[in-house]
Amino acid sequence: MQIISGTAVAEKVIEECRREIAELAALGRKPGLAVVLIGDDPASRAYVRSKDKKCRDLGLHSVKLELPATTTQEELLAHVHALNNDPAIHGILVQSPPPKHIDEAAIVRAIDPAKDVDGFHPVNVAKLALEDPTGFVPCTPLGCQRLLIEAGIETSGAHAVVVGRSMIVGKPMALLLMAKGKGGDATVTVTHSRTRDLAAITRTADIIIAAIGRPHFIKAEHVKEGAVVIDVGINRVDDPTTEKGYKLVGDVAYDEVAPKCRAITPVPGGVGPMTIAMLMANTIKACKQAV
């Protein structure tokens, strides 16, 4: 059984980024990423901090805009428009979820699609569906695809079952796996909370992408012998034995599922590190396309 290390693959992606950044620097260009955080949600703050740290480590131009929770829709839109017009910024990311009074969909639509390195703008969603390589793909599913490629998992002709239908992971993941070419050409089934007899469907899968946001949801009964399982879930569960009082677990019951698998990602150390690595790669791509 192969444990697919997201930490190792993410480091490979980061090294590729370093080379590309050096090539751009030789041309007098520097990729720039702006991350906008509204409010003080601890998880969002931690994400933004890690993104900013990775930017600085790579030598990218990094702008971290921390706004109070009282920021209005109009004020946030003004910040987005300013970043759209800033030639030093190639990627814009508004950390999700924003406070309840913010219309997140309107904010996403306000971002210049050429700077939408999160891949959520309708133009980029359409480009993914159309297999247009100039578009930006959401970082988490893009990272999942890269893990499959690096682990030598053949997707062509395979039956992949995606558990979850969010715009962040499930839907773009299905489009990526269906697309022609490396890491694609799969036959894809998308399942979700309304799916009848989920286990009967997931047991037919050569590859399972678990992205449902429920701890230890995928059990041994959901997985056939020799399947490949990519666990996208990062769930915080109480654990009084740990110093923090909680631990992070995936959507897959790892201990019971892993023995049946040909390959599986751990949590933490699986998909998580890939998300930030692919964000850096998307920012560099945006810089190259900005010419």
- Residues marked active site are found at 51, 95, 118
For residue 179, CA distances in Å to 24, 130, 188, 282 come to 29, 9, 10, 19
DSSP 1-21: -EE--HHHHHHHHHHHHHHHH
Cβ atoms of 222 and 203 closer than 8 Å: yes
Task: Kindly state the greatest CA–CA separation across the chain.
Answer: 57
Give me the sheet containing 187-191, strands edge to edge. 2-3, 261-264, 227-231, 207-210, 159-163, 187-191
Cβ atoms of 108 and 94 closer than 8 Å: yes
